[in-house]
Every structure is written in C-alpha cells, then in structure tokens.
Amino acid sequence: MRLGMVIDLKKCVGCYACVVKCKQEHFLPTGMNWRRILISETGEYPNAQKHVYPVLCNHCADPVCVSVCPTGATKRLETGIVVVEEDKCVGCRYCVVACPYQARSYHREEYPYFPHQGPTAFEILREKLYPHQRKVVLKCNFCIERIEKALGQGLKPGENYEANTACVNICPTKAMVFGDLDDPDSEVSKYIREKRAQQLHPEYGTDPSVYYVIS
C-alpha cells in the first residue's frame, strides 16, 4: 500500500478551506500551517491569469528527509506516510533544510494568539487533545490517526468520509482525491491515469505521492 493524493488545479478555487481545516484538525500552533496555497499570475491585464497551487508534504517514496535524520525520528511507514516521531526529534532541522518542497516547520515555542488576554478555547483544547512538543519539527501526516482507524475498521483509503483526510473532506469543489496509489482500481489511481496528473518537480528524484492535474 502506498497512500497518496491527486489535486486537480482546474477545480481548486483557492478558498483556503483545506488550510483552515488542517490547522483545526491538528490544533496547529500559531503561525504554522501544514498546508499552504501558493498563488502566482502570468500575463498582463486584461489577459492576466491567476494560478493556485495547494502544497503539502509529498510523502515521497524516496524521502530525503528520512535519509538525513540522525535519530530516526523521521520515517516512512508501510502505508507510505512519512511521519515525525516527536519523542525522537532533537530539533536539528536537517530535514527542514533537505526537504526540496519546504514542507516542514520547526516548532520553537508556543505563542499565544492574543498575548496578555489569556488562551482561546482552541488553545485550551490543543493542550488537552493534541499537544505538540516544543523544539521539534512538525509536518503534514496525511491525517494518520483518522486513516489508521479507518484501515483498522476494514475501510479502503478514500472510500468514505472516515477514510479520507480532513482536507479532502472539506474541499467544496472536490478538487482532491485520496487513496492507495498501489491499487490500480482505486479512485485516485484512475484519476491520475485519466487526467494525466503529474508529480511536483519529479527531477528531485524523491518520487512524490502527491500528484497535480495541471491541464
């Protein structure tokens, strides 16, 4: 099994719903986003064109972040998900520098959303439900808690709401499909073949598990 995702840029409207949902789902610290939206423009008025690129960890098949990690904190699971074990991470940030997709963040310290006004309900829940260690590297984990629970229930990745990532579930235009790339009959594999989806910067040699439909 190799879990992956395809993002159809023709459907993405840059609404940032996936960015917000990801932050909510994982109770991310202030100023940190595991998903980002890159926006660029080409051409000139009145024929200018806007380009929207949602980016996240690519969960590469040959991740350079794993090879440079001195403690084994970053590893690739049998499902293809690349994770960071916070208990093993020493915050050296080798992986941050090595990642060609700039998909990793260093969690230096917790900064309050509203200094001197007390923690918000979101911050209180974070410490209870999804605490993050300080001085470690954090990144997208393909909603591993949700996916592993679904697999344990015998569900196929991408089969329904429970077996999908939070960003896929929240997308209003259904611009993303998640599933098993090793299964040729999975929806994500069919979508990649039919739409001729492409990897982001395949020349890096990491074999990303996130594909994009460009045209």
pTM equals 0.91
Q: Contact, 116 vs 13, CB < 8 A?
A: no
Domain that holds residue 169: 3-213
The structural domain count of the chain equals 1
Q: Which residues contact 87 (CB under 8 A, 6 or more apart)?
A: 73, 133
Assess contact for 33 and 139: CB atoms under 8 A: no
Kindly give, in sequence order, each residue whose CB lies less than 8 Å from that of residue 194, ignoring residues fewer than 6 positions away. none
Cα–Cα distance, 104 to 95 (Å, whole number): 8
Q: What stretches of 8-153 show up as alpha helix (H) in DSSP? A: 17-25, 64-68, 94-98, 121-129, 144-152
Q: Can you give the pLDDT of all 215 residues of the chain as single tens digits?
A: 999 999 999 999 999 999 999 999 999 998 899 999 999 999 998 889 889 999 999 999 999 999 999 999 999 999 999 999 999 999 999 999 999 999 999 999 888 889 888 899 999 998 888 989 999 999 999 999 999 999 999 999 999 999 999 999 999 999 999 999 999 999 999 999 999 999 999 999 999 999 999 97
Rg (CA), the chain: 18
> What CATH number did the domain enclosing 117 receive?
3.30.70.20
